[in-house]
């Protein structure tokens, strides 16, 4: 395949190899385009670089319609057998990572209901003022400087503070939470992997430490209930039973990690996209509100911060003519589905006015659809509204530094000059 002057062999398009995940995003996007056209349900061997492997391998699902329909058929393509990661969760991981994202109904909807209330659009509206206030203060601090790492000073701070406040985590623990959530979703990257520790050990230590924090906050909330999510969790009952210690731990970890790692990257990619597509910046920022709904969703479509979630076939079936047997693993490749030329016109263009979106960046509209989507949209809106108001002429300095990961499309550092006149 030779597009845009860059050739890639079939061998290089191997989603099981570590080399593939070290390629630039543009190259991976080109590989997805090739897969969509030639092998839309492509089999890959089990990676040999993960902490565990069952040798079964997986199918990468790269077309929009397939990701959408598989997401909406949890009876045939479930989340609760093994995990939504490539390897099944080993027993020592279940206690910390066996959260609702890895369950099916009826358990899943019981668990989801416990926290749903905190994430409804009405509830998020109440948070709006706080989100805007924070965005304003972060961007005004940045505007005073000559050059900053936008990820460190804004993109990672806003989602972190908001999810910690929602969970009732004291502010002095925010950095503690950030460091541990970075390890959980960024453990392949040397910058986040603690020196001298294996990925497996680092994940467990980070999870144990977050669990200890949750236990401490939880004990306090049993005695002194407050209006936060941790209070809802420690006082909840499902079918008359309180959540078990491991259900509490994995819930807490899921929420702080999901609330942090995704929106941060969407914000960073948004800044990067608006540098690459300056006409879109000009168009959006000249009348921010007019294009803010489509602009925010375009950032999520274009960047697709979550690379995939896995589903497992519960019976023999066929997808696009490919035979699957019970137990087969399917990776829903959101970034590829979001660039599907059969669904989106000029999919590689970043277009803040794109109307036909219904993108899959927050999932395929099934039962596990992102719980934090409204929250993430409000956070993105708040940050970009301030960027448009205070530093519309910012410039990106040098190349961003990208996260090495096969699960999160991340930007670790993005240096900018605010260029405030």
For the chain, the distance separating the N- and C-terminal CA atoms, rounded to the nearest angstrom, is: 46
The tokens for 290 are 């007019």
CB of 101 to ligand HEM, least distance (A): 4
Residue nearest to ligand HEM (CB): 372
Distance CA 103, CA 180 (A): 23
Site for ligand HEM in 237-256 (CB under 6 A): 254-255
Quick check: 368 binds ligand HEM (CB under 6 A)? Answer: yes
Does the footprint of ligand HEM cover residue 366 (CB under 6 A)?
yes
CA 22 vs. chain centroid, Å, equals: 18
Residue 29 host element (H or E): helix 25-38
Contact region with ligand HEM (CB under 6 A), list: 13-21, 48-56, 299-307, 336-344: 299-307
Of 347 and 418, CB closest to ligand HEM: 347
> Taking the complex as a whole, how short is the minimal distance between the CB of residue 198 and ligand HEM, in angstroms?
27
Only segment of 122-130, 142-150, 207-215, 298-306 that touches ligand HEM (CB under 6 A): 298-306
Nearest CA among 230, 180, 231, 252 for reference residue 209: 180
- Taking the C-alpha atoms of residue 25 and residue 403, their distance in angstroms, rounded to an integer, is 11
Tell which positions 102-121 bind ligand HEM, by CB under 6 A. Answer: 112
The neighbouring-strand residues paired with 134 are: none
| Range in contact with ligand HEM (rule: CB under 6 A) among 28-36, 238-246, 372-380, 385-393 | 372-380
Question: Among candidates 355, 373, 232, which has minimal Cα distance to 291?
Answer: 355
- Residue 265 CB, nearest distance to ligand HEM (Å)? 7
Q: Is 381 in the site for ligand HEM (CB under 6 A)?
A: no
Q: Which is nearer to ligand HEM, 210 or 306 (CB)?
A: 306
Least Å distance between CB 39 and ligand HEM?
23
Kindly identify the residues of this chain, within the stretch 257-286, that bind ligand HEM according to CB under 6 A: 258-259, 262-263, 266
In the complex with ligand HEM, the residue whose CB is nearer, 193 or 254, is 254
* Residues 196-225: x where in contact with ligand HEM by CB under 6 A, - otherwise, as a string: ------------------------------
> Which residues have CB under 8 Å from 40's CB, separation 6+?
61, 62, 63, 66, 320
Provide the minimum distance between the beta carbon of 377 and ligand HEM in the complex, in angstroms, as a whole number: 8
- Rule CB under 6 A: say whether 376 interacts with ligand HEM: yes
DSSP assignment of 288-317, as one string? TGGGHHHHHHHHHHHH-SB-EEEEEESS-E
Q: Minimal distance in Å, beta carbon 144 to ligand HEM?
A: 28
Helix intervals (H) in 224-244: 229-234
Taking 3-state DSSP, the helix, strand and coil percentages for the chain, each rounded to the nearest 5, stand at 50, 10, 35
The yes or no reply on residue 370 touching ligand HEM (CB under 6 A) is yes
Site for ligand HEM in 324-343 (CB under 6 A): 334
For position 306 contacting ligand HEM by CB under 6 A, the verdict is: yes
Taking the complex as a whole, the smallest distance from the CB of residue 340 to ligand HEM amounts, in Å, to: 16
Among positions 300, 403, 414, 416, the unique one binding ligand HEM when judged by CB under 6 A: 300
Whole-angstrom distance, CA of residue 177 vs CA of residue 180: 5
Angle at CA 37, nearest 5°, toward 36 and 41?
45
Whether residue 308 is preceded by a cis peptide bond, meaning omega within 30 degrees of 0, is no
**Interface with ligand HEM, residue 305, by CB under 6 A:** yes
Determine the distance from the C-alpha atom of residue 156 to the mean position of all C-alpha atoms in its chain, rounded to a whole number.
13
CA–CA dist 261, 359 (Å, integer) = 19
Cβ distance 405 to 273 under 8 Å? no
Candidates 80, 270, 295, 363: give the one binding ligand HEM (CB under 6 A). Answer: 363
Interaction of residue 375 with ligand HEM, rule CB under 6 A: yes
Where do contacts with ligand HEM occur on this chain (CB under 6 A)? 71, 100-101, 112, 159, 163, 254-255, 258-259, 262-263, 266, 300, 305-306, 309, 334, 361-364, 366, 368-372, 375-376
């Amino acid at each position: 395949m030779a597009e845009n002057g860059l050739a890639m062999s079939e061998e290089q398009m191997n989603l099981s190899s570590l080399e593939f995940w070290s390629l630039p995003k543009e190259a991976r996007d080109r590989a997805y385009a090739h897969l969509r056209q030639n092998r839309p349900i492509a089999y890959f061997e089990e990676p040999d670089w993960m902490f565990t492997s069952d040798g079964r391998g997986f199918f990468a699902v790269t077309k929009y319609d397939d990701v959408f329909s598989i997401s909406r058929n949890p009876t045939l393509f479930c989340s609760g057998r093994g995990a939504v990661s490539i390897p099944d969760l080993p027993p020592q991981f279940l206690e910390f990572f066996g959260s609702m994202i890895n369950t099916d109904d009826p358990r899943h909807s019981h668990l989801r209901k416990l926290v749903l209330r905190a994430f409804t659009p009405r509830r998020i509206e109440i948070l709006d003022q706080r989100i805007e206030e924070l965005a304003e203060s972060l961007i005004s601090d940045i505007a005073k400087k000559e050059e900053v790492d936008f990820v460190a000073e804004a993109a990672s701070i806003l989602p972190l503070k908001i999810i910690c406040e929602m969970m009732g985590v004291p502010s002095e623990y925010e950095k503690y939470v950030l460091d541990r959530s970075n390890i959980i979703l960024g453990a392949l990257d040397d910058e986040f992997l603690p020196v001298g520790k294996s990925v497996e050990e680092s994940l467990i230590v980070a999870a144990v430490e977050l669990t200890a924090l949750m236990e401490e906050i939880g004990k306090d909330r049993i005695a002194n209930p407050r209006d936060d999510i941790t209070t809802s969790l420690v006082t909840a009952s499902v079918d008359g039973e309180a959540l078990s210690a491991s259900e509490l731990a994995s819930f807490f970890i899921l929420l702080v990690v999901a609330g942090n790692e995704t929106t941060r990257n969407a914000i960073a990619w948004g800044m990067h996209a608006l540098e690459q597509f300056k006409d879109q910046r000009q168009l959006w920022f000249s009348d921010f509100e007019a294009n803010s709904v489509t602009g925010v969703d375009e950032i999520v479509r274009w960047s697709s911060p979550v690379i995939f979630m896995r589903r497992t076939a519960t019976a023999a079936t066929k997808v696009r003519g490919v035979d699957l047997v019970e137990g087969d693993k399917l990776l829903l490749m959101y970034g590829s589905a979001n660039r599907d030329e059969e669904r989106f016109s000029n999919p590689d263009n970043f277009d803040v006015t794109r109307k036909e979106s219904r993108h899959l960046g927050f999932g395929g509209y099934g039962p596990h659809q992102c719980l934090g989507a409204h929250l993430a949209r409000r956070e993105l809106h708040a940050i970009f509204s301030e960027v448009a108001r205070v530093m519309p002429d910012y410039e990106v300095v040098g190349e961003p530094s990208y996260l090495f990961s096969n699960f999160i499309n991340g930007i670790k550092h993005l240096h900018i000059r605010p260029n405030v006149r």
